[in-house]
Amino acid sequence: MHKTLILKAFKKAEADRILLGDKKPSLTNKAEDIADYVSQETGFVLGERSYRDYRKDAEALKISESDINIKQHKVVCGLLKYLEFDNYEEFKKINEATINNNPNFKVKKKTSSKFDIKHKITLGILCSLIIIFFSFKYLNTQRWMSWENDHYIETNFDPENYELGNLKLYNPDRIDNFRKIIPNCDTQFYTETGNTNVWYGKNETGVLEYFTALGKHPTTGKTLKEITDYMIKKHICAKY
């Protein structure tokens, strides 16, 4: 069922972006949305390219009995949560109950009459109006945040900033725990149990910047990397 899981996740990502006004969301943008959600919910960072590869493998399978294998357990858990399922058994039970679980299954089209075409056009217009209405309602009730100097702040929705990619869905964990810092020799790079406290990535000009949590660089969108002893000695504290 991993094939169905990844395909449904991409379908949801596409629907969410369309709801937000992105009429033709790219495959990369959809994969980034999924990767962001899973990393924030599970703490496991997997690049958007890997999600695209999983989707490619899933779409390549035409036999309903075939499946792909998502090796990372946390990714499976994150995708289930993304699709609002409590566990894998619930997802499997619901999807096995469908008549046709093969996304590549195609039904032979029949010729439409003029009457059918007119009704389809009317239905299409009504659907568009409904989407516009709920999009407007969603955009104005959803909470948003933007990056300011060294941290995220809650902000109002602004169409121009949204188009520029400056707005992100409100995330209290990002607000409370994600900060850009300037580390030095006194910085606690690891916890007492050996977990990472600092992540790094380059900004638009190629300068290294450091942050207090995993995730993506707030301005470039690239996945941050865990700090290492090598990076500390080379770029922060030579005597570390």
Order of strands across the sheet with 225-226?
180-181, 208-211, 199-202, 225-226
Average pLDDT over residues 83-106: 66
- Is the pLDDT at 105 greater than 50? The verdict is no
Residues in the chain: 240
Least confident of 53-62, 169-178, 231-240: 53-62
Q: How far apart are the first and last CA of the chain?
A: 48
- pLDDT at site 98: 54
- pLDDT at site 230: 94
Least confident of 1-5, 19-23, 51-55, 205-209: 19-23
> For the residues of 188-209, what is the DSSP string, one character each?
--B-TTS-B--EEEE-TTS-EE
Domain ranges of the chain: 2-96, 179-240
Query: In the numeric block, which tokens belong to residue 65?
Result: 């009995």
CB burial readout 154-185, b (16+ within 10 A) else e = ebeeeeeebeeebbbeebeebeeebebeebee
Average pLDDT over residues 134-158: 80
Average pLDDT over residues 22-26: 85
* Structure confidence at residue 207 as a pLDDT band (50, 70, 90): very high
